[in-house]
Copies of this chain bind each other. A is one copy, B any other.
Amino acid sequence: MRAARLSRRLPPVYGARVSTVAGLALDDFTALLGAERVVSDEEALRAWRDPYSFASWDEYTASAVVMPETVEEVQEIVRIAGRHGVPLWPISQGRNNGYGGPAPRVHGSVIVSLKNMNRVLEIDEESAFALVEPGVRWFDLYEAIKAGGHRLMLSIADIGWGSVVGNTLDHGITYLPYGQDQMMQCGMEVVLPDGSLMRTGMGAMPGNRSWQMYKRGLGPTPDQLFMQSNYGIVTKMGVWLMPYPETYMPCWVRVWNDADLGEVVDVLRRLMLDGTIRGVPQIINTVLYATIVTERTKWWQGEGPIPDEVLDQMARELDIGRWLMRCAIWGDEAVVDHNFEKLRAAFESIGGVDVWGTKVAPEDIPSLENPHERVQGGVPSLDLNAMAGWYSGEEGGHVGFSPISPLRSGDALELRDLLRSGIEAAGLDYMAAFLPVSARSFAHITLVIFDTKDEAQARAAYDVSKRLVVEAAKLGFGEYRAHLDFMDLAAEQYSWNDHAYMRFCERIKDALDPQGILAPGKQAIWPRSMRNGR
């Protein structure tokens, strides 16, 4: 019975105390990297815990952090771990917030922080691509493009501090046209669990000219096997960039009535299917947008979640509507004008919806005031990271709970109703953004926000998320990305034909990492030694 795996915690092989694991391998890591690139002090290690966890929870704590600077050091770290049987947890910048941050799935793992492997190795203006190391943040690549004078735009995530590679490997969503279907990656270099080094695609041929220009190779294409998995450590990755368009036009679609959401979804699908909208929009609800621009206590100090009449009031007074969709158009001015008129007419025909947008020259995007408009123009910042203090005005956190739904009104509303009612029943505000990764489906990003200093509220947030993982799955909605704390539960829902997919993943795991040293439990893929004999 696979249900038994849900309660899996730390088996003896890795469950030893921090000092035990560290004692075995720490000397070797220190000999390789020097003391300054090996962190094992218990107090210092707290910086690598989930920032959105309640302070005294310590389930996901590393025993050490090692910080390689070269590919050879990564290879040697993997070999040392293999000799000592130490589990590694590779991170890039560790900004996987809402899903566990930098913390490892298995207590006592050694974090391999790649943040000092932060070189932009190449930017090619003619063919519009870059080759980067895993520590390169959105900020870094953006600055490197600017410093080189390249007229190229990068499809970025909402918050600029994350790693380009790390975000890509976790199926993270970005918003420019190459964000559709997460398609901007081209070519990888990977350290495998045995310490060997491989290049994918055309990079498998010495001196090939097309490594960052053709997405496949000769033979099977393994790139996506290294995303949301524990099969290797990516040490180089190609990223496609977009040449500056003639004009850029961030657009807004404001929906005054909650009841019109379904129609908005259907119009959006048609506009994405026919290419009028080419990037990845966000349909953001009142509360989520409000976290960036106001404080909760101004509007509601009663018990439980903010009620509908107050949401309507916020929608009016903040001028944001019950749902506010951001999207953008990039292209020749004549085409942008045509597409904007088309999308304006389509959405405004719903009634109770208004649409606006402003054309901007690519050079002027950095001076746009609204951070959402900068993000869709490829200019990173931290301005969209303000939501955390919603309940207390101080520190806060969120759990990301994000199932995929068809981009259709019926499905979208059914999922919305399930999640809203579940979260509100837990006494929390429903905060949501619909992110259509392409024309046919969207990730229902649910930010279950809580005050990290309030243990009961934190517990409630985790509990309701877990309950909804199961309830959403029963209705046919599966998560696109899972928090450490319910990775197993989320994966358990993908159980078609007696978990055939997970059994496949495990066979690959055993073949590539028989010792089970690389990120055990990541995405619920456990090495044989931790599978209760399966």
Chain A: residues with CB nearer than 8 A to chain B? 126-129, 171, 177, 181-183, 186, 192, 196-200, 202-210, 212-229, 231, 240, 242-243, 245, 269-270, 273-275, 278, 331-332, 334-335, 338-339, 342, 404-408, 411, 437-441, 473, 476-482, 490-491, 493-497, 500-505, 507-508, 510-512, 523-525
- The CA-CA distance from A231 to B503 in the complex, in Å, is 15
The answer to whether B214 and A221 have CB atoms under 8 Å apart is: no
The answer to whether A406 and B213 have CB atoms under 8 Å apart is: yes
Known pairs A497-B199, A500-B198, A501-B200; A221 contacts B225 (CB<8 A): yes
Known pairs A274-B243, A478-B217, A493-B205; A127 contacts B407 (CB<8 A): yes
The answer to whether A220 and B225 have CB atoms under 8 Å apart is: yes
The answer to whether B331 and A197 have CB atoms under 8 Å apart is: no
The answer to whether A501 and B183 have CB atoms under 8 Å apart is: no
CB proximity of A236 to chain B, nearest CB, Å: 12
The answer to whether A511 and B507 have CB atoms under 8 Å apart is: yes
Judged by DSSP, the binding face of A is: mixed
Residues in B neighbouring A183, C-beta threshold 8 A: 181, 183
Residues in B neighbouring A525, C-beta threshold 8 A: 219
- The CA-CA distance from A208 to B511 in the complex, in Å, is 29
- The CA-CA distance from A214 to B228 in the complex, in Å, is 15
CB proximity of A504 to chain B, nearest CB, Å: 5
The answer to whether A221 and B224 have CB atoms under 8 Å apart is: yes
- Contact of A205 (CB < 8 Å), options: B198, B242, B494, B508: B494
Closest B residue to A152 by CB, please name it.
B273
Closest B residue to A332 by CB, please name it.
B338
Copies in the complex: 2
Residues in B neighbouring A440, C-beta threshold 8 A: 127-129, 186, 210, 212-214, 240
- Contact of A218 (CB < 8 Å), options: B128, B339, B490, B508: B490
Residues in B neighbouring A507, C-beta threshold 8 A: 511-512
- Contact of A511 (CB < 8 Å), options: B196, B273, B406, B511: B511
Q: Please, could you name 6 A-B residue pairs with CB atoms under 8 Å apart, sorted by A?
A: A127-B406, A204-B502, A209-B477, A217-B478, A218-B482, A219-B505
Known pairs A332-B338, A342-B332; A205 contacts B496 (CB<8 A): yes
Residues in B neighbouring A505, C-beta threshold 8 A: 219-220
Residues in B neighbouring A206, C-beta threshold 8 A: 495-496
Residues in B neighbouring A408, C-beta threshold 8 A: 126-127
Residues in B neighbouring A181, C-beta threshold 8 A: 183, 215
- Contact of A479 (CB < 8 Å), options: B218, B339, B501, B510: B218
- The CA-CA distance from A507 to B494 in the complex, in Å, is 25
The answer to whether B269 and A495 have CB atoms under 8 Å apart is: no
Q: Besides A220-B508, A221-B228, A332-B342, 17 other CB < 8 A contacts?
A: A127-B406, A171-B216, A177-B275, A181-B215, A197-B497, A198-B501, A204-B500, A206-B496, A209-B406, A216-B227, A219-B228, A219-B525, A220-B228, A223-B224, A245-B274, A334-B338, A507-B512
The answer to whether A202 and B404 have CB atoms under 8 Å apart is: yes
The answer to whether B129 and A218 have CB atoms under 8 Å apart is: no
- The CA-CA distance from A498 to B68 in the complex, in Å, is 24
- Contact of A508 (CB < 8 Å), options: B202, B480, B502, B508: B508
Known pairs A205-B495, A501-B198; A210 contacts B126 (CB<8 A): no
- Pick the 8 closest A-B CB pairs, nearest first: A511-B511, A204-B501, A213-B440, A220-B229, A221-B224, A204-B494, A198-B500, A213-B441
